[in-house]
Amino acid sequence: MNPRCPALLVSAPASGQGKTTVVAALARLLRRRGARVRVFKCGPDFLDPFWHELASGHAVHSLDLWMTGEMDARARLHAAAQAADVILVEGVMGLHDGTPSSADLARALGLPVLAVIQAGAMAQTLGAIAHGLKHYKSESAGALPWAGVLANGVAGEGHAALLRQSLDEPAHWLGALPRSEAMHLPERHLGLIAAHELGHAPALARLDAAADALAATPLGAMTLADWRARWSVAFAAPATAPAAPALLAGRTVAVARDAAFAFVYPANLECLQALGARVVLFSPLAGDALPACDALWLPGGYPELHASALAARTDLRAQLQAHAQVGRPVWAECGGMMCLFDELLTRDGAVHPMWGLLPGRVRMQGRLMGLGMQSWAAADGVPALRGHSFHFSACETPLAPLACTTPAPGSARAQGEAVYAQGAVRASYFHAWFASSLPATATLFSNDSCPQRLPDGRKQL
Residues labelled catalytic: 334
HSE (CB half, 13 Å, CA atoms) of 379? Answer: 16
**How would you classify residue 18: left for phi > 0, otherwise alpha for psi between -120 and 50, otherwise beta?**
left
What is the spatial distance between Cα 197 and Cα 216, in angstroms, rounded to a whole number?
Answer: 29
Q: Rounded to whole angstroms, how far apart are CA atoms 85 and 102?
A: 22
Q: What are phi and psi of 252, to 5 degrees?
A: -105, 125
Cα of 260 vs its chain's centroid, Å = 16
Inter-residue contact 18 to 152 (CB < 8 Å): yes
**Contact status, residue 329 vs residue 287, Cβ threshold 8 Å:** no
CA distance 89 to 61: 10
> What are the angstrom distances between the C-alpha of 145 and each of 32, 158, 271, 431?
28, 29, 32, 32
DSSP label of 435: G
* Distance (Å, whole) CA 438 – CA 435: 6
Q: Which residue type occupies 179?
A: R
Which residues, other chains included, contact 102 with Cβ-Cβ below 8 Å and sequence gap of 6+?
9, 11, 42, 43, 91, 92, 93, 94, 95, 96, 113
| CA 241 to centroid of chain Cα atoms | 23
